[in-house]
Structure 1
Amino acid sequence: MPPAVRFGVNYTPSEGWFHHWLDFDLDSVRADLDSIAALGLDHVRVFPLWPYFQPNRTLIRPRAVEQLVALADAAAERGLDVNVDGLQGHLSSFDFLPAWTRTWHRRNLFTDPDALDGQENLLRTLAAALADRPNFIGMTLGNEVNQFSAGPHPDPDRATPGEIDTWLARMLAACEEGAPGRLHLHAEYDATWYQDDQPFTPGQAARQGAVTAVHSWVFNGTAQRYGRTSVPGEHHAAYLVELSKAWADDPHRPVWLQEVGAPAPLVPPEHAAAFTEATVANALDCPGLWGITWWCSHDVSRSLADFPELEYGLGLLTNDRKPKDTAMVLERAARGPSYTPASRTTALVVPADPAVRSRCAPGGPVFEAFFRLVADGARPTTVLDTRAADREHLSARGITETVTVDQVLEGGTRP
């Protein structure tokens, strides 16, 4: 019997947002965690801001680490497990990089020896501080760090896929050294699956770390092109879960839907609950799903300036900790009976070459073919073209039929 799907939330403090680390108030954190636990969720993903924790390459602030541990302990008191993102990195349109990596001290985050030493040190230190906490799930290397490695970032730290391989292996090893045996992983935004020149590749996402993480946002062109109530709009998260499986070497590798949300105005507030319900239900129909971690816990306060408009209202709870309709949807799912979906027996063949992964992006032929299958009532998964004739691989995944993009697009209904 597979383990039950985990339900959690990306913790956005209601007071001070992630700047709360500068004025850490444990009572406020406890009140936030109370409002999260009341929804029946079982974990939070936590974000220590990198410049606040490691303002100098050789200084990791002990007080900041103590506060992180205090937050984890407060979560444990409320029955919440904790995953910690180490290198923050990037959050809600803002970059948080320490001064020792920028301008006069410009260092490439992925290749500079001193930068690598500093990052490794921070990840090892944070993991070690939490290693003896039973509610510590493990480390995520950082939040969507791939956005620093290529365009459209205005000042990217360019690296090759080989250099990213080395970076990932070294950083994951530091987490394992700090907290052996925990669930350590890395997580990128969907350019990994959709952008041809992105050096973080699908193969890395699906093979390095303990689980594959996917972040699903329909503002990537899905909602704009197809609409919020379309088949692609309501199944985008499930698509990324199933797309990721094509690159996994382990046919039973778990996938974590680590970020997903209902972004306005593409998903208006009055339709957010329906969108959430459809997204969650469709994701739960994916075999091997480790968990769903909604973005985010609490709204961003309107007293804070310069956020993109959509960021202010993404919370399951208001800024004064009142649950919204979306919170009720997630609560019902979290408290509901566990569900074990059947295998997905039809696999759409996708190109293994990462240089053409844009074929999988919204508007691309793989994307179109997948959702034509869904619209016709199928429950497709994906398989690489290099494995489409591998009977052992197909059998291990429960796949009994493979179809090509051309076969699908020759007929059928549009998404």
Structure 2
Amino acid sequence: MTETVRPPRFGVNYTPSRGWFHHWLDFEPDEVRADLDSIAALGLDHLRVFPLWPLFQPNRTLIRPRAVEQLVALADAAAERGLDVAVDGLQGHLSSFDFLPAWTTTWHRRNLFTDPEVIDGQRAYLRTLAAALADRPNFIGMTVGNEIDQFSGHPHPDPDRITPAQAEAWLHRMLTACEEGAPGRLHLHAAYDAAWYRDGHPFTPAHAARIGTATAVHSWVFNGTAQRHGPEAAATGQHAAYLIELSKAWADDPHRPVWLQEVGAPAPHIPAGRAAAFARTTVANALDCPDLWGITWWCSHDVDRALADFPELEYGLGLLTNARETKPAGAAVAALAAEVRAEWTPPPVRTTGLVLDLPDDAPDRSVCAPGGSYFEAFMRMAATGARPAAVLAGRATDAAHLAARGITELVTVDQLR
């Protein structure tokens, strides 16, 4: 008898059409409702929402009640339109801009991950946001922050350096605060792909795949994938699926849910005319991964070109224009969401494991990055129609682990050369 599994969720990272995330400074409920109407019209089921940390907690002991009320109002407006809401707390970093409160910078510079007073302030903030939404049925849960790991090392111009042990301790403290505020919700953390690809990065694959309720992956092919392989290559269309499967190499739970929390079609790496095709291919490949919690596209609405200094690729990533009109990529994602809702069959397990010769702490994980030996071997297999899973070398002889994942055959990178 086949186990019934719910279909993956389809959602969008909410970027307000008026004022981008600066809309919190001039919160207009009617504008938010109009944005949410245009998102709901795509047939999506959830939003990922981004309070700006300095605006919500401008002083370590001041979490602005009015800002929290506005966040709750947004969540309630989403509920009226059948949309669930996930909230990122520590923003943190968004679209190349850093948003840190003044009590952590310059004259008050303190390490974001180790200073006891900063940690107490962060915990209070996350707990407050979670508690404010805890009684809302459409509240999914908290993500600690958006790619906050980028503050911990290179290439950030002014990093707060830490060790992997300090990163792990910080993550546990932040997620405990989220759970205290809203028990039993989907609380997790999100790293950019340095956690998977950058040698020596203090936030590790094991942190991503073992801490929190689910694993989040953020897939951006401007990381060298599209430059190396081209916009139409199998590797480019498989990148999101690769990250989903790569994360499972470190997961202790063989069926840990994986959330493709960010994925988008960045121009010029993906030409605008190919955005819809890229969306269809990327989503279809992600849906072929077992244990997928959901797909949340980046982003809902384009960035208004009246706003200055964004990297060029950030302006056109929306499924909708600033006038709230559906773009071709938006139509493609909407169609895929409708297809999955109408008829969903979970993908079969991946029976062939590609062995990843890394220790558990993965200090030299650049082999997993575009151009790395493991990445390229995985993509060569995928290009032939194979469906590889990722298996750490230390687990390659663990019969119980392999059986729990349905893996019956192992191959190595050397065998594929």
Normalising to structure 2: TM-score of the pair? 0.98
Q: CA deviation at 1:140?
A: 0.2
Do the aligned partners of 2:235 and 2:383 also contact (CA within 8 Å) in 1? Answer: no
Do the aligned partners of 1:164 and 1:200 also contact (CA within 8 Å) in 2? Answer: yes
Q: CA deviation at 1:351?
A: 2.9
> Aligned partners of 1:2 and 1:40: how far apart in 2?
20
Aligned to 2:307, which of 288, 304, 317? 304
Do the aligned partners of 1:196 and 1:358 also contact (CA within 8 Å) in 2? Answer: yes
Aligned to 1:66, which of 65, 69, 79? 69
> Aligned partners of 1:401 and 1:19: how far apart in 2?
51
> Aligned partners of 2:358 and 2:36: how far apart in 1?
42
> Aligned partners of 2:358 and 2:138: how far apart in 1?
37
Identity of aligned residues (%): 73
> Aligned partners of 2:380 and 2:408: how far apart in 1?
19
Aligned to 2:355, which of 314, 338, 349? 349
Point out the more displaced range, 333-342 or 257-266. 333-342
> Aligned partners of 1:324 and 1:256: how far apart in 2?
24
> Aligned partners of 2:266 and 2:63: how far apart in 1?
35
Work out whether 1:386 is the aligned partner of 2:386.
no
Aligned to 1:109, which of 112, 137, 149? 112
> Aligned partners of 2:344 and 2:15: how far apart in 1?
27
> Aligned partners of 2:355 and 2:215: how far apart in 1?
20
Do the aligned partners of 2:354 and 2:378 also contact (CA within 8 Å) in 1? Answer: yes
5+ residue gaps, structure 2:
none
5+ residue gaps, structure 1:
410-415
Counterpart residue number, 1:412: none
Counterpart residue number, 1:397: 405
Counterpart residue number, 2:259: 256
Question: What's the C-alpha RMSD, in Å, of the aligned pairs?
Answer: 0.6
Q: CA deviation at 1:376?
A: 2.1
Aligned to 1:318, which of 303, 317, 321? 321
Counterpart residue number, 1:42: 45
Do the aligned partners of 1:14 and 1:319 also contact (CA within 8 Å) in 2? Answer: yes
> Aligned partners of 1:389 and 1:202: how far apart in 2?
20
> Aligned partners of 2:84 and 2:6: how far apart in 1?
16
Do the aligned partners of 2:89 and 2:145 also contact (CA within 8 Å) in 1? Answer: yes
* Mapping of residues 117-156 of structure 1, within 5 Å: 117-156=120-159
Point out the more displaced range, 366-375 or 206-215. 366-375
Aligned AA for 1:382? A
Aligned AA for 2:378? F
SS at match of 1:186: strand
> Aligned partners of 1:150 and 1:385: how far apart in 2?
27
Point out the more displaced range, 333-342 or 144-153. 333-342
Q: CA deviation at 1:372?
A: 1.1
> Aligned partners of 1:301 and 1:376: how far apart in 2?
41
SS at match of 2:63: coil
Counterpart residue number, 2:165: 162
> Aligned partners of 1:59 and 1:352: how far apart in 2?
45
Aligned AA for 1:62? P
> Aligned partners of 2:59 and 2:263: how far apart in 1?
33
Do the aligned partners of 2:209 and 2:247 also contact (CA within 8 Å) in 1? Answer: yes
Do the aligned partners of 2:12 and 2:299 also contact (CA within 8 Å) in 1? Answer: yes
Work out whether 1:339 is the aligned partner of 2:345.
yes
SS at match of 1:65: helix
Tell me which stretches of 4 or more aligned residues in structure 1 moved more than 4 Å: none
> Aligned partners of 1:371 and 1:25: how far apart in 2?
46
Work out whether 1:330 is the aligned partner of 2:333.
yes
Point out the more displaced range, 392-401 or 375-384. 375-384
Deviations 1:330-384 (A, max 9, x none): 1111111223100000011113331111000000000011011112221001011
Normalising to structure 1: TM-score of the pair? 0.98
> Aligned partners of 1:376 and 1:283: how far apart in 2?
17
Deviations 1:200-240 (A, max 9, x none): 00000000000000000000000000001111101000000
SS at match of 1:355: coil
